[in-house]
Amino acid sequence: MKKQINVVGAVIVKDGMILCAQRGEGSSLGGMWEFPGGKIEPEETPRDALQREIDEELKCQVSVGEEVTTTPHEYDFGVVTLTTFYCELIEGTPELTEHAAVKWLAPDELGQLDWAPADIPAVDLIQEQRAA
Ligand SMILES: Nc1nc2c([nH]c(=O)n2[C@H]2C[C@H](O)[C@@H](COP(=O)(O)OP(=O)(O)OP(=O)(O)O)O2)c(=O)[nH]1
C-alpha cells in the first residue's frame, strides 16, 4: 500500500482575498502553489496541527474556522489526504520562511496559479462558495 500522508492547509481569508503560497524549489512539488500548512503529527487534531504549522511557517496566528473539504490525491510518493479550513488572521502578518512567495488573490483569480494537484478540489469549491 502507498504511504498515507495526512495534511492540513489553511485558506486564510482577509478582506475577501485568499492567501496562496508557493512551495520552495527544494521541497517536493517545488514551485507549485498550495495552502500553507503541513503534515498532521500523531495525537494532534487537524485544527491544532494547522495552528502550529501556520505559527511555524508564516510566523502569525490564525483562528481555524469551517472545513472546506477533505480529498485524497495519489502522488508517486504516496497518497496525500488534504483537509482545508477557512482561517482568519488574528495576530501578525504572514512572513516568508519556507515558501518562495505568497500572494493574496480574489477567489475568481485562483485558477491563474499552478496549484499542487491535491489542491484542485478545494480550489474549485472555494471559487464556487466565494464567487463575487
Ligand atoms: N502544506 C501543504 N502541503 C500540500 C498541499 N497540497 C499538497 O499536495 N501538499 C503536499 C506537499 C507535501 O508532500 C505534503 C505536505 O507536507 P509539508 O508541507 O510538511 O511538506 P514538507 O516540507 O514536509 O515536504 P517534504 O518536502 O519534506 O516532502 O503535502 C497544500 O495545500 N498544503
Condensed to tens digits (0 to 9), the pLDDT of residues 82-110 reads 999 999 999 999 999 999 999 999 999 99
- Ligand 1 binding pocket includes 34 (Cβ within 6 Å): yes
What structural domains does the chain harbor?
A: 4-129 (3.90.79.10)
State the pTM of this model: 0.96
Mean pLDDT confidence for 39-47: 98
* Distance from C-alpha of 124 to C-alpha of 108, rounded to nearest angstrom: 10
pLDDT of 1? 86
Mean pLDDT confidence for 42-48: 97
Which residue's C-alpha comes closest to atom 16 of ligand 1? Answer: 38
- Ligand 1 binding pocket includes 119 (Cβ within 6 Å): yes
In this predicted structure, the answer to whether residue 41 has a pLDDT above a threshold of 70 is yes
Please check whether residue 77 is in contact with residue 39, taking contact to mean a CB–CB distance below 8 angstroms: no
Could you read off the pLDDT of 3-37 as tens digits, one per residue? 999 999 999 999 999 999 999 999 899 999 999 99
pLDDT of 132? 67
| Index of the ligand 1 atom closest to the CA of residue 80 | 29
Which residue's C-alpha comes closest to atom 26 of ligand 1? Answer: 27
| Index of the ligand 1 atom closest to the CA of residue 98 | 22
User: Rounded to whole angstroms, what are the CA distances from 44 to 36, 39, 68, 90, 122?
Assistant: 17, 10, 19, 21, 22
